[in-house]
Structure formats: C-alpha cells, structure tokens
Structure 1
C-alpha cells in the first residue's frame, strides 16, 4: 500500500492556532488513524533551535537557526498510507480545508509527496 508524507508550510511566528482547529484536527486524525491512513505525525518547533547542514561543492557547513530569510517553514508532518494516490490527495485536501475553516487568518501550504519504496538507482559516473 503506498505511503505518503504530508507537510505543512506556513509563516513562522504567527501565533498559536485556535482551539477549534486543535479540536477538529484531533477528531480528523483520530478518524484517519482508525481507518489506517494516519501512521504518525506531529507539529515541529520553530526554527530558533534548528540546525542545518549545508553541502556545497564537497564541503559541509553547519548553519544554526533562526533563519531570518525564511518566509515559510515546515511546521508539521504526517506519514500517511492510502490505497491510491487519489485517496491520498483527497485526504490532504480535507486536512487543508480544516485550516481554512478553523484558522482562516492563516496562510499555509499542505504538501503531499509519495514515499519511494526503493532508493533511486545510483548515477553512472
């Protein structure tokens, strides 16, 4: 059964979501879990303590947050499982609609990506 990653990107520092969104999310995630669609997920802390390792031209550099240049950051994630891509898309749209309904002041992007079952083939060099 295909697995998917859902990501939520939104502006950082806009405040906490309203309790109504938390309540709706609890109900929705409970239903999705019971149907075997929601496998795991959660919210993420802000970038103030984030650590990035940037690789450029064969060199690795550590860059600590916060990141003033970041307009939107990943604020949450979910590991999902559906029978089809179409079902996964419908589920991600429902998730996004919860935000539109219960936190209309929020601007966010809900991204869905399929998890690869096997690593990509290595590049020939």
Structure 2
C-alpha cells in the first residue's frame, strides 16, 4: 500500500491550539491508528533549537535556529498508509477541515506527499 507523509505548516509562535482541536485530533488520529492508516506522527518544537546543515558548492555549513527569515515552519508530521491516493487526499482534506473548524483564526497549510519507493515509484 502507498505510504504518505503529512506535514502541517503554520506561523511560528502563534500560541497554543484550542482545546477543542486537541480533542478532535485525538479522535481523528485514534480512529486512523486503529484502522492501520496512521503509523506515526506528532508535533514539533519551535525552531529555537533547530539545526540546519546547508550544503552549497560542496561545502557544509551549520545554521542554528531560531530562523528570523522563516515565515512558516513545519509544526507537525505524520506517516500514513492508504489503499489509494484518492483515499489519502480525501482524508488529508478532512484533517485540514478539523483545523478550519476548531482554529479558524490561524492559517494552516496541510501538505500530503507520497513516499517514493525508489526508482520504479509512480510519477504521480
């Protein structure tokens, strides 16, 4: 079955999500974990302790956070497995709708990307 990574991007330091979102996400993730769709995932701390290694022209440079130039940061991730791409897309939309319903004042970008299985992986 195809595997996917889900990412949640948002502005940093916008405060805690409302308790209703935590409750809705607990139910949403619990259902998907029970069905085998949700494999793993979680929230991420802010960029204050993040470390980037930038490779440019054969040189490696370490850049420590926080990153003032960052407008959005990845605030959470998930590893998911669905029978079809269509199932994955529909479920990611439901995930986004939970955020719209429970935290409407915040802009959230919920991204879904299929995990490559190697050189023979499908292009779409």
**TM-score, normalization: structure 1?**
0.94
Cα root mean square deviation, aligned: 0.9
Distance (whole Å) between structure 1 residues aligned to residue 108 and residue 12 of structure 2: 10
| Unaligned stretches of 5+ residues in structure 2 | none
Distance (whole Å) between structure 2 residues aligned to residue 90 and residue 74 of structure 1: 21
| Unaligned stretches of 5+ residues in structure 1 | 121-125
Distance (whole Å) between structure 1 residues aligned to residue 37 and residue 90 of structure 2: 12
Counterpart check, 1:81 vs 2:81: yes
Q: Describe the SS at the equivalent of 1:30.
A: helix
Distance (whole Å) between structure 2 residues aligned to residue 16 and residue 98 of structure 1: 15
- Could you give the per-residue CA deviations for residues 1-31 of structure 1, whole angstroms, max 9, x where no partner exists? 0000000000000000000000000000001
Distance (whole Å) between structure 1 residues aligned to residue 50 and residue 96 of structure 2: 25
Aligned to 1:42: 42
Distance (whole Å) between structure 2 residues aligned to residue 2 and residue 64 of structure 1: 34
**TM-score, normalization: structure 2?**
0.95
Distance (whole Å) between structure 2 residues aligned to residue 14 and residue 88 of structure 1: 28
Q: Describe the SS at the equivalent of 2:27.
A: helix
Runs of 4+ in 1 over 6 A off after TM superposition: none
State the number of aligned residues.
Answer: 120
